[in-house]
Amino acid sequence: MYNNSVLEHFLNPHNVGRLPDADGTGMIGDPDCGDYLKIYIKVRDEKLIDVKFEIFGCPAAIATASILTDLAKGKSVEEALKISDLDVIKALGGLPDRKIHCSSLGAEALHKAIEDYLAKKEFRPSLKQDGENLGERNVRNLQP
């Protein structure tokens, strides 16, 4: 049913765990009553320097989360936002048709984690890049 790549990522998933000092988190599903995936990201200089996940799901979902975190690590925030379900499925070498929906947990959770990071960045100057701060931005926004 599953190809070797999916089986390998299911049996030995990469990047499992939490990042207690994550800069962003994103969750899809509901841990109280079903499948869920939570992604943690650590960002430096607008690059995802670490990505980890916690999951409750089937082998396809676990393999998806494992390869997704591999794909996202080291990417810029902008590049990581472009990672799609299809990219994840391709990187795994395909999934059985009836398991395609499991892969949709992955990219969406990652995108939510990035959105969380971007939202926090607005209020945490320490996450901002050189030359970028709330004061400058607010002044720019006020100009006609």
Binding site for ligand FES (CB under 6 A): 35, 57-58, 60-61, 102
In the bound state with ligand FES, the residue whose beta carbon lies nearer, of 32 and 45, is: 32
Task: State whether residue 89 is helix, strand or coil.
Answer: helix
- In whole angstroms, the minimum distance from the beta carbon of 69 to ligand FES comes to 16
Other C-beta atoms closer than 10 Å to the C-beta of 119 total 11
- In angstroms, the CA 113 to CA 59 distance is 22
Residue 74 — φ and ψ, nearest 5°? Answer: 85, -10
- In angstroms, the CA 101 to CA 76 distance is 26
- Looking at 48, 102, 107, 114, which residue is catalytic? 102
In the bound state with ligand FES, the residue whose beta carbon lies nearer, of 112 and 121, is: 112
- In whole angstroms, the minimum distance from the beta carbon of 130 to ligand FES comes to 42
- In whole angstroms, the minimum distance from the beta carbon of 144 to ligand FES comes to 50
66 residue type, one letter: S
* 58: annotated active-site residue: no
- Looking at 4, 21, 33, 143, which residue is catalytic? 33
CB 43 within 8 A of CB 72: no
In the bound state with ligand FES, the residue whose beta carbon lies nearer, of 25 and 103, is: 103
In the bound state with ligand FES, the residue whose beta carbon lies nearer, of 67 and 77, is: 67
| Tokens 């002044």 sit on residue | 139
CB 77 within 8 A of CB 128: no
- In whole angstroms, the minimum distance from the beta carbon of 138 to ligand FES comes to 43
Query: So which residues are the catalytic ones?
Result: 33, 102
